[in-house]
Structure 1
């Protein structure tokens, strides 16, 4: 089955992940290490792609990012201010 998207953007959370990461004074490498403690393996290059909206994210990854960045899933999705 082929994934078909209407735009070049592969996720809607990328800019918010970057905002939360910087607010927590984390590098992409440090964020990757924190995610690893939750058994979620996203390397630094993939975090960069995620922040640029060039990488699809799974629900498990979304939950882990929410936890390590101390923000809600709703905020990452743009449903909350």
Structure 2
């Protein structure tokens, strides 16, 4: 996996994740729990770090987030 680092944010989907999550009325904890039910190791702190851009997001995690949030991964990636 190649990691792209812009110097500002460790991912490009954090702001969209936060926007979609809040539009759907989900808390970070609820989103993390939904991901855990799918077998992913997420916590509310993980979601916070993704949204703040302080955590890298692997491609399989982007796919899982898009599935749980019912959006395409293309939309998340911009």
The two structures have a TM-score, normalised by structure 1, of: 0.86
The verdict on how the C-alpha distance between 1:52 and 1:64 changes in structure 2, with shifts beyond 3 A counting, is same
- Unmatched segments (≥5 aa) in structure 1: none
Larger Rg: 1
The two structures have a TM-score, normalised by structure 2, of: 0.89
Tell me how far 1:42 sits from its aligned partner. Answer: 1.1
* Aligned positions of 1:1-80 closer than 5 A: 5-78=5-78
- Unmatched segments (≥5 aa) in structure 2: none
Alignment size in residue pairs? 76
Tell me how far 1:6 sits from its aligned partner. Answer: 4.0
- Retained in 1: the 8 A contact 2:62–2:73? yes
> Going by fraction, where is helix more abundant, 1 or 2?
2
The verdict on how the C-alpha distance between 1:34 and 1:5 changes in structure 2, with shifts beyond 3 A counting, is same
Q: Which runs of 4+ in 1 moved over 6 A?
A: none
Taking only aligned residues, the RMSD between alpha carbons, in angstroms, comes to: 1.4
Give per-residue Cα distances to partners, 1:22-57, cap 9 Å, x unaligned: 111100000000001111111111110100111001
